[in-house]
Amino acid sequence: MMDFVSGKILEIQFVQRNEVKNSHAMELEGMQRSLDFLLEGCSLQISHPVTD
């Protein structure tokens, strides 16, 4: 996750392929873990999540 105002990386999650069923699921799991960490662990507010 990146803060586009500051240009800084806020969070990175690594998901191993044996944790999920396929590469699409890896991306989704990584996104969910990052959002959980930022929203619950850091109490940040996310206004516009954007993915590629």
**Alpha helices (runs of H) in 3-47, residue ranges in sequence order:** 23-36
More confident residue, 2 or 20: 20
Interval 12-48: pLDDT, tens: 999 999 999 998 899 999 999 999 998 888 888 888 8
The predicted pLDDT at position 21 comes to 95
Domain boundaries, the chain: 2-41
User: Do residues 18 and 27 make contact, with C-beta atoms less than 8 angstroms apart?
Assistant: no
What is the spatial distance between Cα 2 and Cα 27, in angstroms, rounded to a whole number? 16
The predicted pLDDT at position 20 comes to 96
pTM of the model: 0.76
Report the pLDDT averaged over residues 6-10: 86
